[in-house]
Amino acid sequence: MTDATRGPRQDRSGEVDDSNLRQPLPGSLRAVTVQYDNRPDRCTISPADCTDDARFTTWLSANRSAFVDLDDRR
């Protein structure tokens, strides 16, 4: 997601900037990418409005290479 009002912005390096994040819209997702030295980077997606406790059971992770930039696909 590229609009700060909808969710955090992720740049091409995989860093997530949520400093301007406002109240998430219903159904919004939050993506966090963890970079590793010796294995593929992993991206974890969870509902933006779920509690920290619920985030432990409500998520999807995959290699970063499995995700594409939405603007590149339009």
User: What is the predicted pLDDT for the residue at 29?
Assistant: 87
User: What is the predicted pLDDT for the residue at 4?
Assistant: 38
User: What is the predicted pLDDT for the residue at 36?
Assistant: 92
Mean pLDDT by 10 residues, the chain (74 residues): 45 58 74 91 89 84 88 84
User: What is the predicted pLDDT for the residue at 62?
Assistant: 92
Domains of the chain, by residue range, sit at 9-73
- Long-range interactions of 11-18: CB distance < 8 A, separation 24+: 12/69, 14/41, 14/43, 14/64
User: What is the predicted pLDDT for the residue at 25?
Assistant: 72
User: What is the predicted pLDDT for the residue at 21?
Assistant: 56
